[in-house]
Amino acid sequence: MITPEAAVIAGDTTEDVFQACNEIGPRLTLDARETFTDIRLDYLAAYGMNGASDRMRGKTVRQIIDEYVPTNIEPRESGEIDGIQYSIYSALDPAVESYTNSADSGEPSDAPKDRASRFDNGNSTAGPR
- Which of 43-47, 51-55, 69-73 is predicted most confidently? 51-55
pLDDT for 126: 43
Residue 117 pLDDT greater than 90, yes or no? no
In the chain, domain spans: 8-94+101-120
Q: How far apart are CA 114 and CA 94, in angstroms?
A: 14
pLDDT for 127: 44
Tell me the mean pLDDT in the region 110-125: 39
Spell out the SS3 assignment of 59-112.
EEHHHHHHHCCCCCCCCCEEEEECCEEEEECCCCCCCCCCCCCCHHHCCCCCCC
Confidence of residue 87 (pLDDT cuts 50, 70, 90): confident
